[in-house]
Amino acid sequence: MTQRCASIQRDTLETQIKVNINLDGTGQAQLNSGVAFLDHMLDQIARHGLIDLDIQAQGDTQIDDHHTVEDIGISLGQAFKQAVGDKTGICRYGHAYVPLDEALSRVVIDFSGRPGLEFHVDFPRSHIGQFDVDLFSEFFQGFVNHAQVTLHIDSLRGRNAHHIIETVFKAFGRALRMALSPDPRMQGMMPSTKGSL
């Protein structure tokens, strides 16, 4: 099978971002977003999704992290859309539950061609270190808008903000892995009754 890869470069007045992905990788990650906690979360996507991920970014973090986090979500979504191609033969749907101590999250994804985000995560505090937790929803909104997927994220329980968001990103990686896996019974077929996605 030909490996599904993509390269995206996004340059604005606020950020300069390069993303390279291999959906059929081994979970290797080279991450330099300029936002250390985001790099830690992106590493979860790579490792649990078995996706090779190279993200290099420069942004106006002297103002705050908003533009960098959102634009990485956008760029990553564009890369996924390009790498997935016409979606022939993939499972299309993926889901995962992931615990970490007291925290438990569920992520469900559909490579539907229709962007939609349901993000239901309540954090017990506003920041993890210096990172503003409000930016996680911006990251995922940017991703779904450009990957054109439907994504449901639910934190089912948790008291520690770091544990909560780490379970989200691990579950996201594993849901991606399931949805993008080839379905041996769907070889050459589109996983939709419409005939296209």
Summary count for the chain: helices (H), strands (E): 4, 10
The domain that holds 98 is classified in CATH as: 3.30.230.40
- For 159-192, the pLDDT digits (tens) are 999 999 999 999 999 999 999 999 988 888 878 7
The answer to whether the beta carbons of residues 118 and 152 sit under 8 Å apart is yes
Collapsing DSSP to helix, strand or coil, 64 comes out as coil
Question: What pLDDT is stored for residue 194 in this prediction?
Answer: 77
On whether residue 191 sits in a domain, the answer given is no
CB count, 10 Å around CB of 45? Answer: 24
Q: What is the domain extent for residue 38?
A: 5-186
On whether residue 34 sits in a domain, the answer given is yes
On whether residue 157 sits in a domain, the answer given is yes
Q: For the chain, what is the domain count? A: 1
pTM summary value: 0.96
- Cβ neighbors of 184 (< 8 A, separation 6 or more) are none
